[in-house]
Structure 1
Amino acid sequence: MEKKSVVSRQRLKRRARRMARRVLPFVASLFLATPLAAPIARTQAATPKIAVRRVAAPTPTKEALYDQRLRDVYQDLGLTQQGLRYEVFEKAMTGYLNLEDEGKLTNDKQFLTVVDFSLPSTEKRLWVLDLAAKQVKFHTLVAHGHNSGENMATNFSNENESNMSSLGFYVTKGEYTGKHGRSLKLQGVDEGYNTNALKRSVVMHGADYVSEDFIKQYGRLGRSLGCPALPMAEKDAIIEAVNGGTCLFFNGPDQQYSSKYLNEDIAIQRLLNDTQMI
């Protein structure tokens, strides 16, 4: 009886194994055919979608573009290292662009001469800028008028025989030979500040008292009768460079100075349209 029971159990095991071999492929095929959509759907439903809103960058204003381009020119010229303050350069460039817009400057040269009389005469305070070539052509000493002050120029006048310097914008005219040798006529264009320059014979010329040796001896430069006097060694080259319709700007500590040529709207339009300078 025990032997039959063992045999029966073995038969049952063999039948079970055969049945399993038949059923397992069918179950496996059913499992592989079943889509996994439900778990994926639950995962997507559990993760909220975050909407990304793109904010457009603000369009720069004309004023901002103008300031940036002026600063680029200032940087290209290396004027920080040359000692010309940006505030003075900005005023000089604004006037230059206004004069250019009025057709008062020559088309043959893009020269801007800046004199900063807020600096002492012992410092190099004249710059001749070649805007087309992005170069500082000259950086040198320059004298102020006898009655404008000692080492510092503090007084300015447009009156004849005042023996003072005059602030503002000028346009260079023609050359001539006078008592100081080769000289350059200057036309003042700022009403009330320098329009008597031609009558007063305020000209650019050389002088022996504009030198480092004079400074060592007297602690300042010599002074003129109102003319922007130059070092003798450089006056010919400077006059040659800036003659014939270029712009000069004489800056000073006079807080009351104003000019119609400091019209920023005109300067902005002119600079943004000037592809040669920038």
Structure 2
Amino acid sequence: MVYKIFPTAFLVVFSLFSAHSFFDESHNIKRIEVVKKLESDSEANIELVYNNLNTNNFAMPKLEGFAEALKGFYLLKEKGLVTKNILTLIDFSLSSNSKRLWVIDLATNTILYNSLVAHGRNTGDEFATSFSNSAQSFKSSLGFYATGEIYNGKHGKSLKLDGLEKGINSNARNRAVVIHGANYVSNSFIQNNKRLGRSLGCPAIPMELTNEIIQTIKDKSCLFVYYPSKAYKVASKLVM
């Protein structure tokens, strides 16, 4: 697949091969080789984007999670399922005691926020290990989401999420999996309990950042919850 981050890639393919070449076996082989080269180039350019992130003195996300997030973002943007050039990445392979949420402005290639974020109480203790799309599982769900509308709920200002991957996170809205602030998402909680607090499945964030982050990512921006899960990669149509 040639990702949209390289719109010129399509022009290269069609300029290299005339219409009749598609019916020639040798030309077909060469075309496949060129497409593979373009795919390889796309991976190199993802690394280029990654290596040129303006960190704003924040920590960098891991490349593997960032690469999967960026590929999915462009596919979803092309389909109109997300519309903003804002990408939120949550890396649940990291300890909950570390800042494992990043909000990135892809228009300026700048990290806007790097924050603590909670996982569901049945997803794990300090580390996330188990995920679910089921109601009452009290687990986090992996994959790609589109952010929705702001509302005021029992946790104050909150942001609804729409899971975009059937069977993986598609029940998010019905499960009331939302972004909200929580007092248990704080360094003081970690100091007292040796780990971050846990939610009922929501990606809860620090109270002091709730308004800023929600205002930045609301209304159809892309959120990706990453974990190096083979089962997720097999089920997902947005990563490979």
CA contact (8 A) 2:58 2:114 kept: no
Which deviates the most, 71-80 or 163-172? 71-80
Aligned residue for 1:262? 239
Structure 2 equivalent of residue 226 of structure 1: 201
Instruction: Give the length in aligned residue pairs.
Output: 204
CA distance in 2, matches of 1:203, 1:244: 13
Higher Cα Rg, which structure:
1
Report sequence identity in percent.
46
| Residue 207 in structure 1 maps to residue 182 in structure 2 | yes
Structure 1 residues not aligned, in runs of 5+: 1-58, 264-278
Structure 1 equivalent of residue 5 of structure 2: none
2:67 — aligned with what?
90
1:69 pairs, out of 45, 48, 51, with: 45
Q: Which residue of 2 aligns with 1:152?
A: 127
TM-score of the superposition, structure 2-length normalised? Answer: 0.81
Q: Deviations over 1:126-182 (max 9, x none)?
A: 000000011100001000001001101101000000000000000001110000000
Which of the numbers 77, 82, 91 marks the counterpart of 1:100? Answer: 77
Aligned equivalent of 1:216: 191
Match of 2:111 among 133, 136, 154: 136
Q: Give the CA deviation at 1:262.
A: 2.1
- Opposite residue 59 of structure 2, the aligned amino acid is Q
Give 2:158's aligned amino acid: S
* Whole-angstrom CA distance in 1 between matches of 2:209 and 2:179: 12
Indicate if the aligned counterparts of 1:98 and 1:262 stay in contact, CA closer than 8 A.
no
1:81: Cα distance to partner?
A: 7.0
- Following superposition, the deviation at residue 225 of structure 1 comes to 0.3
Amino acid paired to 1:96: F
Q: TM-score, normalised by structure 1?
A: 0.70
Offset at residue 240 of structure 1 (A):
0.3
1:239-274 CA distance string (max 9 Å, x none): 0000000000001242210311226xxxxxxxxxxx
Could you say what secondary structure the match of 1:148 adopts?
coil
Partner-residue secondary structure (3-state), 2:64: helix
2:191 is paired with a residue whose SS is helix
Whole-Å separation in 1 of the counterparts to 2:88 and 2:58: 17
